Amino acid sequence: MLPAETQIARCVPAITVIPPDRDIATLSLLGLELSPDVWFDDGNVIVRAGTVGFRVFRGMLAQLSAPLETLLHGPNLAQCLVWENCPIVDLSCNSNSTDATHFLAAIFKPNSFDSFLITKITFDQISAVVRLASIYEIPNMRRKALSFLSSVYPTNLEGFVSVGGLRPSYCRDQILPVIHFAREHSITWILPLAFYRYILEMNGTTQVYGVEYGDMKVILSPEDQKRCYDAQHFLRISNTQAILARYSMRVSDAGCTGGAACREARLKEGADLLPQVGTLPDILFTWPPRRADLSLDSSSHSQLCENCLEDMKRWYSSRRKAFWDALPSVFGLSDWVALER
């Protein structure tokens, strides 16, 4: 990506013939549609992105961003066409109309981009705001957008558990765009979980051929494909080994009071768990093994004796902590602390 300054420098009105009075009677002369989302009748500037015009407030944009202030108060403005006393500023070189809608809505309709709506905020909104806030040098806005992304791709186990593991509102088709976006903007701390989702949720076809996203095709780079392949292989082997070792071990030393029935239950739980290796994202995040007919919190269904139940819970707790801590290294990345720097 070009440095922001370079991109902004190119951002001049895409109009070659300027009438002497610069006033135009109707926006349709420019092929502009009025944005249904960001349009204020008392706005004093028209921002153009592609074929869409947004009527907003010049002073508010200018005080947010030094590059926008230059565009909105400098010589650029003197060249703009004017409609109903609103200069028409073209930002098409930095944004399509969809991204501009998200960006301008985040500024002028802040409730649409607030943390209390986090479950409704989409990756498209977040990526548009991060990209344009970077270009127009609005660090607070960029940070806010990234915090929303981090809530879905947390860097700590508590955060992962609190969002319910993998959030369903982020559909599968967005995993590759998220990784592509993270690589493009060096947002490395979301990569471990994004790669983890990739190996669990993407099928062979989408892993090899990628996915359509907007007007582009997104495919994982060969280097990242290799790291995901290696990680998937490693996780399947190590999880299988861990489950076999745990569920087939002698129970007498753990203070089992359930006798043969407890041992039988343990073997059955292990047998239920093994086929799920590599398919359940949270295989080591819940216990006992999740089954289709059981709720997530299914420890009350366990047939283990009380001592074995507690022992198994402790084992799972330490396993999942170790698993989480090791997740970046499984994908050949630096540890969580380094990734967050």
Of 126-134, 251-259, 267-275, 283-291: span binding Zn ion (CB under 5 A): 251-259
| Cβ–Cβ under 8 Å, residues 142 and 130 | yes
Q: How far is the CB of 127 from Zn ion (least distance, A)?
A: 50
Q: Smallest distance from the beta carbon of 118 to Zn ion, in angstroms?
A: 42
**Closest separation in Å from C-beta 309 to Zn ion:** 8
Q: In this structure, what DSSP letter does residue 23 have?
A: B
| Bond from prior residue into 139 cis (ω within 30 degrees of 0) | no
- Among residues 29 and 271, whose Cβ is nearest to Zn ion? 271
Interaction between residue 231 and Zn ion (CB under 5 A): no
Nearest residue to 242 via CA among 284, 276, 192, 280: 284
Determine if 309 is a binding residue for Zn ion (CB under 5 A). Answer: no
CB of 306 to Zn ion, least distance (A): 8
Q: Which of 287, 259, 263 is nearest to 273 (CA)?
A: 287
Amino acid identity at 244? L
Region 286-305 residues binding Zn ion, contact defined as CB under 5 A: 305
Give the C-alpha distances (Å, rounded to integers) separating 301 from 18, 298, 304, 315: 76, 5, 9, 18
For residue 48, the 8-state DSSP code is E
What amino acid occupies position 319? R
d(CA 55, CA 63): 17
Among 53, 67, 154, 258, binds Zn ion (CB under 5 A): 258
Q: Which is nearer to Zn ion, 152 or 308 (CB)?
A: 308
Contact with Zn ion (CB under 5 A) among 262, 277, 283, 284: 262
Looking at the Cβ atoms of 107 and 256, the one nearer to Zn ion is: 256
Binding residue for Zn ion (CB under 5 A) from 52, 308, 327, 330?
308
The site for Zn ion (CB under 5 A) is made up of: 256, 258, 262, 305, 308
